[in-house]
Amino acid sequence: MAKSKGKKPAKGGAGKVAEGYTHPDQTLLMRPEAGTQAQFRKKKPPQTYRYDSSLSPALDWDGGNGARELGEWLLSVIERTAALQAPHVLPSPEEFKTADGRVVLSVLSLQEAVDQLKRLSRPFLTWTGKAERLSFDVPTLPLFVHERLSTKAIVETLVGHKTDKQTDFWEMLGDPRHSITDQVLKAYEYPDKWVNRLILGDSLVVMNSLLHYERLGGQGQMIYIDPPYGVKFGSNFQPFVRKRDVSHGDDEDLTREPEMVKAYRDTWELGLHSYLTYMRDRLLLARELLTPSGSVFVQISDENLHHVRELMDEVFGSENKLAQVSFLRGGTQTTEKGLPANADFLLWYARDKDRSKAREMLLDDGGWAARSQDLWLESQTGERRRLAPGESPTAARVFTHRSLESARETGSDLNKFAIEFDGHEFWPKRGWSTTPNGVQRLKESNRFLRIGNSLRFIVYLNDFPYSGLTANWTDTIESGFASERVYVVQTAKKVVQRCILMATDPGDLVLDPTCGSGTTAYVAEQWGRRWITIDTSRVPLALARQRLLTATFPYYELKEPAHGPSGGFVYKRKQNNKGEETGGIVPHVTLKSIANNEPPAEEVLVDRPEIDNKIIRVTGPFCVEATIPTPVDWEGDGVEDSGTGTTEQHGSFIDRMLEILRKSPVLHIGGGKSVTLKNIRPPAKTLSLSAEAMVANGDDKPVALLFGPENGAVSEKLVHEALKEANLRGYTHLYVIGVGIQSNARTLIEKAVDMGMIPATYVQATPDIMMGDLLKNMRSSQIFSVCGLPEVKLHTVKPKCKDDE
């Protein structure tokens, strides 16, 4: 439970007012619909991100990348500023620039120069490839809208069809308790036409698109990242929607989605070293997406916790760490020696700790955890005694005690006076924290306790029966219905909920670039936060989509309905007939409220807004989007022109394909027929063909082969060039092998003979071709086969009656 002082939920933490954020021009970039992607080719150059070279391994002063020069420059600034009068500030900042003119650092004072020099000598984490990777490019692609979804619209459409099975809708939503007739159906919506987003794509590419195509930089209030915990291929992905018992190292359990295989190949090539690069790049972009008061949570296991924390120190600054949380997870990891692990971790870092929204969370535990030290009992007759070990009292009042001394020097003698109690006289060292009148009221309220020579103020657990959350969460294992998981690595909702309630307000934007089954989106939706979530695999996205579409949530009353959740929720003070507080506003009895004879302060428990039980709330409208690679052509030099490939990568893909084809030379061409190739080799001096081969038991002329791109559909242009060349060079047939094909490219293949060319066949390659050495047992017999399209014919049907028109 998160609290904030006063009646309003606090807008900031740690006594600071956190800054909100505004949309740059209050309008949203309209995303294009899928199908229009061809118009977007090469519209934007890739974005280059640079690392601060002063943090590179050359900090040992021996490298040649500027760290030594930076250190020497800082020493010279220190010499010059030390010679100035205190406070040793230069008239204007001095800048250290790299050879290409980029400003690396600007320093104004002696203190700043000393701090920077100290920073240079801090230990840092290094790994293979880090020193060389001072910058990296990310393609700047548009995101295309594939689906616009709204549970409310679906249900209303179904209801509009007057089916007599209306209650089924609620079963469909996993909420069979309700009848459609007695509930009002609503969803939260946002005034600026904001629509939540489920995006298929690599997190780095999508975050870059959000930053540089859509200008969403600095607008995220919170980012939750739950990356694969390690580098094992099988441990990173769940390959099937309905299969959750995935075993590591079993080929049957490996995903065959081409994007995922490619992502794995590109991402974890160097094992842990690649993992660190993968994480650091994503953390860097995540930071750019955050608003100044925003923060990021990274969920990780103990396997790489230490490394990821070093990375976060590097990208966010160790001074911006807000917490390292450990939370219990279901299932204990077995270990041959040592202790079995049963917890995972959250690393919580602010973009800027001083400005961060980070409010205290409260547990509704009767106040036990917060006041676990030196507990006492007060019987009904007023006798007081220490609680015995293991004793858990029911009838009596439990209390602890605190000092009555002011925490600071009061600066006045008014609060320095003697208090007589229990036959003793007590004097303060610095001053009492209240006045003589206040002391009198505390005495009358029977709030004093003498322990030896010390006067203590009694704090009953009932004064405020809540405990502040610590960084050790032991109540996070979900049980019963709530624990049913749809995804093998699904996070418990409670974990994400706490993060969202601590770090955001209603209407804030929450981003999760590792969507999985969509727990972050689900919890954000529940709590009226806007969300964007990204995953590179279709399997978890399909699970998340269904989970969101079929979810129902409590309807938290809105303070300003016209503004949606952004206007905040309604909180009230309420009691049940036993006098227990049940509302979202609760009293907090304090020494001050008793001493000043004031009503107790009120605090808001953010997770207890008022609920309107007459309304069933469903997920608001959301879009499914993707960075679809546009059909790929070679630039003539063998380079894919999608902006991501390199000649080297393409060359290695062709080599890999040749090798696979030699091992698995059978092309299944439909109708139970197959063609077996032999003598497969690259053709001499070709412009567009990938290989040539002889057909076993065929005529003695070779056939030509064209391999489509590794990372996209075969385009019409590719087929056209290859057909022309194969025709001219006297091949008897062209086989186009790809993982996908554009429809007009397919038409060209089918019409090749009619156009006076040699016959051509499109052969679909299974994604297994990308697995290569990842798979111990490749399904070689089925790698290449013709994939038929459904035969569709359109018939015009005359309307039966006028109503059907």
Ligand X SMILES: C[S@@+](CC[C@H](N)C(=O)[O-])C[C@H]1O[C@@H](n2cnc3c(N)ncnc32)[C@H](O)[C@@H]1O
Sheet holding 144-149, edge to edge: 144-149, 622-626, 196-200, 530-535, 509-512, 220-225, 290-300, 341-350, 321-333, 472-473
If binding is defined by CB under 6 A, does position 304 make contact with ligand X?
no
Question: Could you say which residues in the range 469-508 bind ligand X, by CB under 6 A?
Answer: 487, 489-491
Contact region with ligand X (CB under 6 A), list: 116-124, 368-376, 533-541, 783-791: 533-541
> Which residues 6+ apart lie within 8 Å of 718 measured at CB?
632, 633, 634, 688, 706, 708, 745
Window of 125-133, 532-540, 677-685, 690-698 that interacts with ligand X by CB under 6 A: 532-540
Check binding of 629 to ligand X (CB under 6 A): no
Residue 322 phi, psi dihedral angles, 5° rounding: -100, -35
Closest by Cα among 748, 563, 737 to 653:
737
Among 155, 223, 263, 548, binds ligand X (CB under 6 A): 263
Which of 629, 702 has the CB closer to ligand X?
629
**Nearest Cα to Cα of residue 556 among 529, 581, 519, 518:** 529
**Which are the contacts of 277, defined by CB distance < 8 A and separation ≥ 6?**
127, 129, 130, 133, 270
The size of the interface with ligand X (CB under 6 A), counted in residues, is: 22
**Residue 619 sits in the site that holds ligand X (CB under 6 A):** no
Check binding of 207 to ligand X (CB under 6 A).
Answer: no
Q: Which residue is nearest to ligand X (CB)?
A: 516
Least CB distance to ligand X at residue 196 (A): 16
Segment lying near ligand X (by CB under 6 A), choices 246-254, 514-522, 701-709, 718-726:
514-522
Residue 516 vs 568, nearer CB to ligand X: 516
36-95: contacts with ligand X (CB under 6 A): none
DSSP 640: B
Please state, in angstroms and rounded to a whole number, the distance separating the CA atoms of residues 710 and 638: 12
Contact with ligand X (CB under 6 A): which of 12, 66, 220, 228? Answer: 228
Question: 53 or 236: whose CB is closer to ligand X?
Answer: 236
The least CB distance from residue 725 to ligand X, in Å, is 37
CB of 539 to ligand X, least distance (A): 8
Pair of tokens at residue 665: 């030379």
Say whether 419 sits in a helix, a strand or coil: strand
Which region among 220-228, 346-354, 578-586, 731-739 touches ligand X (by CB under 6 A)?
220-228
Residue 645 binding ligand X, by CB under 6 A = no
Nearer to ligand X, 200 or 461 (CB): 200
Q: What H or E segment, with its residue span, contains residue 545?
A: helix 538-549
Q: Which is nearer to ligand X, 56 or 203 (CB)?
A: 203
CB of 256 to ligand X, least distance (A): 14
Q: In angstroms, how far is CA 40 from the centroid of its own chain?
A: 27
Instruction: Name which of 535 and 725 has its Cβ closer to ligand X.
Output: 535
3-state secondary structure 454-507: EEEEEEEHHHCCCEECCCEECCCCCCHHHHCCCCCCCCCHHHHHHHHHHHCCCC
Amino acid type, 544: A
Report the residue from 4, 415, 533, 537 that binds ligand X according to the rule CB under 6 A: 537
Nearest alpha carbon to residue 476 among 454, 491, 461, 459: 491
Q: Distance (Å, rounded) from C-alpha 418 to C-alpha 424? A: 10
540 part of the interface to ligand X, by CB under 6 A: yes
Other beta carbons within 10 angstroms of residue 462's beta carbon come to 12
What is the x/- site pattern for ligand X, positions 119-138, by CB under 6 A? --------------------
Q: Which is nearer to ligand X, 489 or 604 (CB)?
A: 489
The residue (of 343 and 589) whose beta carbon lies closer to ligand X is 343
Separation CA 70–CA 712 (nearest Å): 45
User: Are 171 and 552 in contact, with CB atoms under 8 Å apart?
Assistant: no
| Least Å from the CB of residue 465 to ligand X | 32
Strands (E) in 212-353, as ranges, are 220-225, 290-300, 321-333, 341-350
How many C-beta neighbours within 10 Å does residue 600 have?
A: 15
Q: Which stretch binds ligand X (CB under 6 A): 222-230, 368-376, 593-601, 669-677?
A: 222-230
With respect to ligand X, which residue has the nearer C-beta, 264 or 316?
264
Cβ of residue 242: shortest distance to ligand X, in angstroms? 15
Question: What minimum distance in Å lies between the beta carbon of 513 and ligand X?
Answer: 6
Cα separation, 734 vs 384, in Å, equals: 95
User: What is the rounded distance in angstroms from the CA atom of residue 707 to the CA atom of residue 155?
Assistant: 46
208 binds ligand X (CB under 6 A): no
Dihedral of alpha carbons 627, 632, 636, 639, sign: positive
741 backbone dihedrals φ, ψ, rounded to 5°: -145, 140
514 binds ligand X, rule: CB under 6 A: yes
Q: How far is the CB of 346 from ligand X (least distance, A)?
A: 11
- Binding part of the chain for ligand X, among 140-148, 224-232, 309-317, 468-476 by CB under 6 A, reads 224-232
Among 94, 112, 226, 313, binds ligand X (CB under 6 A): 226
Stretch that binds ligand X, among 174-182, 534-542, 606-614, 772-780 (CB under 6 A): 534-542
Q: Measured from the CB of residue 216, what is the shortest distance to ligand X in angstroms?
A: 17
SS3 231: coil
Q: Which of 56, 293, 519, 664 binds ligand X (CB under 6 A)?
A: 519
Least distance from C-beta 526 to ligand X, angstroms? 14
Q: What would the x/- binding string for ligand X be over residues 187 to 206, using CB under 6 A?
A: ---------------xx---
Question: Can you read off the two tokens belonging to residue 307?
Answer: 């490394």
Q: Does 516 sit near ligand X (CB under 6 A)?
A: yes
Among 155, 311, 370, 534, binds ligand X (CB under 6 A): 534
CB of 198 to ligand X, least distance (A): 12
Least separation, in Å, of the C-beta of 627 and ligand X?
A: 11
Site for ligand X contains 517 (CB under 6 A): yes
Looking at residue 10, the DSSP 8-state letter turns out to be P
Q: How far is Cα 733 from Cα 705, in angstroms, rounded to an integer?
A: 8
The rounded distance, in Å, linking the Cα atoms of 722 and 694 is: 18
Q: Which 561-600 positions form the footprint of ligand X (CB under 6 A)?
A: none
> Is there binding between residue 536 and ligand X (CB under 6 A)?
yes
Query: CA 629, CA 637: separation in Å to the nearest integer?
Result: 20
Strands 784-785 vs 666-670: parallel, antiparallel or unpaired: parallel
Residues that bind ligand X (CB under 6 A): 202-203, 226-228, 236-237, 263, 487, 489-491, 513-514, 516-517, 519, 534-537, 540
